[in-house]
Every structure is written in structure tokens, then in C-alpha cells.
Structure 1
Amino acid sequence: MEYISNSAQETEALGERLAARLRPGDVIAYTGDLGAGKTAFTRGLARGLGVIDRVTSPTFTIVNEYEGGRLPLFHFDLYRMDSPEELFDIGWEDYLARGGVCAVEWSEHAEGAFEEEPIWVDIRRGESDEQRVISIRNAPDLL
């Protein structure tokens, strides 16, 4: 499915709608340019899961953990990773086993590391500075 977002708030709202349909162990694999809105989408996921903590990009920490919602949310940023093996070095399998949702920015850096087909979320810039074209594959219907 393809969605058009005209603001960060609309991008967050789409993430929130997806969160309502997520199950333990789901992986959200993001692709898209730097600054396209992957973290905004994750803020919506967090809100939809009932997380009240402030969601920030895990660029320098690799992973941020958010507990306290319907499911735990593990927000990964793989931008600085050089190989998929590094994902396992930081405990990827342990995060999967904890029964939460893993939201993975720069998922192309972990190609081949996903055991099951993730939910793919591609976010691209649209016709204006604020507009985003968001394509979601392998996900429950959001309508």
C-alpha cells in the first residue's frame, strides 16, 4: 500500500495505525533517505503501542528500548553498521526473543539477517518539503 503524508504528524499517525495491528516479534524494516521521517513513523508506532517515553533517533546508541506499552519497542539505527553480522553482535536474537516489536532504520545494512519477512516501510520525499510517500509491504491492512 502507498500513503501520502503531508506532515510529520500525519507520518506519526500512520505509524500509530500500524502499531494497533502489530504482534510480538514483528520487525519493521525501514528504507528511505536521511531525514525522510523514519523516526517520526517510529514515534507513531510508540504512541500506538502505549509508550509514553520521548522517542529519539538511536543513531549513536544503535538501539533505544521503550518499555511500558502493550509491547516493548526496540528502535534500531543501523546507519553506522558495516555488516549484518554486527547486528548479532549487539544481541539481535535476544531482542527478538523478548517478544517486542523491532523497528529497524537503515535495514538495508542488515540484509539477510531477518529470519522472517519483515514489514517493509519505505519513506521517500514527495512533491513538497513536508510531503512524504510511504510504501508499506507485508503488513496488515491499515484501513
Structure 2
Amino acid sequence: MKTLEFTYHIKDIQKVAEAVLSHLHTKTVLFNGDMGAGKTTFINALLKAMNSNDEASSPTFSIVNEYSLADDKVYHFDFYRIESIEEAYNFGIEDYLNSDHWLFMEWSERIEDLVPEAHQTLTITDLQEDKRTIKLTI
């Protein structure tokens, strides 16, 4: 599996989001990174690159947020508080996974057995001083 790497200053996040979007060949994207690395911030930049008028916010407590695109939707998941696969089934994860919409997943390792085979992984590393590195599987 190949990886693309982008290192950027936070002020250039929109350019990087547009570049990342051009390399997405699946609608399921896993977002990895430590707490506070900037996963939701990057998802917000991706939404802008996708011409959404919605603002991303962390779905830590709601588990999933829905954002509108011109002719599609993005489901943004945060599985940090999920303790078991059973909890994911209880909120209807299958309906989301079987949809044709974008799936942006934070903390997907908590539902690893349910993650669609066709996915790409985006890993964000906080380098401090408002710099980040993103590694994207392609």
C-alpha cells in the first residue's frame, strides 16, 4: 500500500485538504491521530473543499454528525466512546455502512471488524508550532 505525505502549516490546511480530496478514491476515510491532533479541523477543511456549507464539529457525544453536500452527504463518526461492537449495532451503524454516502471515521479501531474493506486511512501527526503531517494511504 502506498502512502502520500503532506507536511503543512495550519494556515495552509485548505490547500492540503484539496490535494487530499483529489487522491480519495473511496468514500470511506478513516482519520487517525492522537486526541487534539486536528482530525475534526481537517474534516472541516475537507468539507469546504467538497463545497459544503456545513461546519464540522466533533461528534464525540452524538457519535455521528451529518453534513450536506450539493448531491450527497457526509457522515462523520467519532467512536472514541464506543465500548463494543454491540454499541455500534445499537445505534444503527449498518444503515450508515450500507449507504452510498461519505463515511469519515475517527477512532475506527474501536469498530475495526465493521470497517468496510474499501477505505483509505488518513493519519495526522501534530508537529507543534501549528504544523501537521498527514499520511494518506492511496
* Same fold, TM-score > 0.5, yes or no: yes
- 2:61 aligned partner: 60
Alpha-carbon shift at residue 22 of structure 1 (Å):
4.6
Retained in 2: the 8 A contact 1:49–1:70?
A: no
Alpha-carbon shift at residue 111 of structure 1 (Å):
1.2
Q: TM-score, normalised by structure 2?
A: 0.84
Instruction: Provide the secondary structure at the position in 1 that maps to 2:121.
Output: strand
Retained in 2: the 8 A contact 1:75–1:103?
A: yes
- 1:2 aligned partner: 5
User: Is 1:13 equivalent to 2:15 in the alignment?
Assistant: yes
Alpha-carbon shift at residue 92 of structure 1 (Å):
2.0
Change (3 A) 1:113 1:12: farther
Alpha-carbon shift at residue 15 of structure 1 (Å):
2.6
Question: Which amino acid letter does the alignment assign opposite residue 132 of structure 1?
Answer: R
Q: Could you say what the CA RMSD is over the residues aligned between the two structures, in angstroms?
A: 2.0
- 1:69 aligned partner: 70
Q: TM-score, normalised by structure 1?
A: 0.82
Q: Distance in 1 between matches of 2:6 and 2:14?
A: 12
- 2:114 aligned partner: 113
Retained in 1: the 8 A contact 2:79–2:108?
A: yes
Alpha-carbon shift at residue 120 of structure 1 (Å):
0.3
Alpha-carbon shift at residue 47 of structure 1 (Å):
1.2
Alpha-carbon shift at residue 20 of structure 1 (Å):
4.7
- 2:95 aligned partner: 94
Count of aligned positions: 135
- 2:30 aligned partner: 29
Runs (5+) with no aligned partner, structure 2:
none
Whose strand fraction is larger, Structure 1's or Structure 2's? Answer: 2
Instruction: Provide the secondary structure at the position in 2 that maps to 1:112.
Output: helix
Retained in 2: the 8 A contact 1:12–1:42?
A: no
Runs (5+) with no aligned partner, structure 1:
139-143
